[in-house]
């Protein structure tokens, strides 16, 4: 056996989801509220275009940066939806948003660079930063401010080694939405300090209460901004693996080279499907968002029938991030609790510790309402509440 020199932890969201899927494949009844995905069938137009692409043999290597009509339509979609100003040359199609973040860290981090990461954070940010020798610096958000961090809090933890900020708005796992004024302060700090910002905005289309503001709509920061988007959440296309990066041309060029030396780009079939999703964007996004809103409300209502303290609905995203004490669960770590309920009751939640926040758990509401209700009943039964 060869030794690996990689110091890489497993992704908690992916690991728990895989375990839940394995159990399901064995025929067990599993209540999977782990990985965040809007569980919906593909829109008929998307499915049709994908099968036509196969039938017509559009199945050879696509251009590394993505098929030109998709790059163009993606930039146009972002510009009209979020008041940004990107061209095709600023747009890269990736294997999901995650690979875009991975490639950006690979391209721009050097050993010992410090990266500010507001917490609770999405599980993969610190792991990716460490993979490229960077040092993740956690900036803990305050629950009373919907877990958001201020420019002042970021500044307190900045040092001359700070190179980058990874901001996630709308937030996973918190569902928080940053206001324009809050973003403006962060933008002026980042600009003054010369930081790069990776802005992960993949949940922007799932904003229920309040307005989503894209960092791409601040022209003063676009030279330092890598904006990450994805088809996964907006268009319920997680398994198709199509993401988008919007960035200055110099960044797109290096990220394209990384892609050319690694994935060679994402599936051509998925790219034609994604193009069709953009052609039907308003209809699909409205449907997905409305459906996720009703799933959110159903999960909140179910949990509130027996939780010790009432939880409120997150403003955006796909998750409830709640303290375990509302379930009467104490004196056990979130990881131990989540492992225990998965093993003993086949309920899959992600522990707060994976997001840098002990004492909490994340439940995805991407599954259909009946499934969510069954999961909460199973939880209630397990906890004898």
Q: Please report, as ranges, the residues that interact with ligand GLU according to CB under 6 A.
A: 11, 13-14, 35-36, 98, 122-124, 172
Q: Which is nearer to ligand GLU, 33 or 213 (CB)?
A: 33
Q: CB 147 → ligand GLU: shortest distance, Å?
A: 15
Residue with token string 């994340």: 362
Residue 136 to residue 164: CA distance in whole angstroms: 10
Structure tokens at 261: 């030396």
Residue 95 to residue 93: CA distance in whole angstroms: 7
Q: CB 354 → ligand GLU: shortest distance, Å?
A: 9
Given CA atoms 256, 260, 266, 271 in this order, what sign does their dihedral have?
A: positive
Residue with token string 């307005």: 211
Q: CB 198 → ligand GLU: shortest distance, Å?
A: 15
Please enumerate in sequence order all residues whose Cβ is within 8 A of that of 333, keeping only pairs 6 or more positions apart, or say none: 351, 353, 358
Please enumerate in sequence order all residues whose Cβ is within 8 A of that of 60, keeping only pairs 6 or more positions apart, or say none: 268
Q: Which is nearer to ligand GLU, 73 or 103 (CB)?
A: 103
Q: Which is nearer to ligand GLU, 36 or 113 (CB)?
A: 36
Q: CB 14 → ligand GLU: shortest distance, Å?
A: 5
Q: CB 130 → ligand GLU: shortest distance, Å?
A: 16
Q: Which of 366, 140, 92, 364 is nearest to 249 (CA)?
A: 92
Q: Which is nearer to ligand GLU, 13 or 276 (CB)?
A: 13
Residue with token string 């296309």: 237
Structure tokens at 236: 């319920």
Q: Which is nearer to ligand GLU, 121 or 195 (CB)?
A: 121
Q: CB 175 → ligand GLU: shortest distance, Å?
A: 12
Q: Which is nearer to ligand GLU, 31 or 272 (CB)?
A: 31
């Amino acid at each position: 056996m060869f030794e690996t020199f990689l110091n890489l932890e497993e992704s908690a969201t992916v690991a728990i989801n895989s375990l839940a899927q394995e159990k399901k494949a064995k025929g067990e009844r599993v209540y999977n509220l782990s990985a965040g995905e809007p569980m919906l069938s593909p829109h008929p137009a998307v499915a049709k275009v994908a099968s036509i692409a196969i039938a017509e043999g559009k199945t050879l290597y696509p251009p590394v940066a993505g098929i030109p009509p998709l790059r163009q339509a993606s930039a146009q979609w972002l510009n009209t939806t979020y008041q940004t100003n990107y061209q095709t040359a600023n747009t890269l199609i990736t294997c999901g948003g995650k690979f875009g973040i991975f490639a950006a860290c690979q391209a721009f981090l050097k050993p010992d660079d410090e990266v500010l990461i507001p917490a609770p954070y999405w599980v993969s940010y610190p792991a990716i930063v460490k993979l490229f020798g960077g040092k993740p610096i956690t900036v803990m958000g305050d629950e009373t401010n919907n877990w958001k961090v201020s420019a002042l809090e970021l500044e307190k933890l900045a040092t001359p080694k700070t190179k980058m900020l990874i901001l996630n708005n709308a937030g996973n796992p918190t569902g928080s939405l940053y206001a324009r004024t809050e973003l403006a302060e962060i933008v002026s700090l980042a600009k003054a300090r010369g930081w790069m910002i990776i802005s992960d905005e993949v949940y922007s289309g799932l904003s229920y209460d309040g307005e989503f503001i894209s960092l791409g709509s601040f022209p003063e920061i676009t030279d330092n901004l890598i904006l990450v988007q994805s088809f996964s959440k907006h268009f319920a296309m997680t398994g198709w693996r199509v993401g988008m990066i919007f960035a200055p041309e110099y960044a797109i060029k290096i990220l394209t080279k990384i892609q050319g030396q690694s994935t060679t780009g994402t599936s051509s079939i998925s790219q034609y499907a994604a193009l069709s999703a953009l052609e039907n964007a308003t209809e699909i996004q409205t449907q997905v968002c409305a459906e996720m809103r009703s799933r959110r409300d159903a999960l909140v209502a179910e949990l509130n029938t027996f939780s010790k303290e009432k939880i409120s609905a997150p403003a955006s995203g796909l998750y409830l991030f709640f303290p375990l004490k509302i379930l009467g669960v104490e004196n056990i770590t979130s990881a131990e609790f989540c492992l225990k309920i998965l093993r003993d009751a086949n309920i899959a939640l992600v522990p707060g510790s994976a997001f840098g926040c002990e004492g909490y758990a994340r439940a995805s509401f991407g599954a259909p309402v009946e499934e969510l209700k069954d999961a909460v009943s199973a939880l209630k039964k397990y906890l004898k509440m």
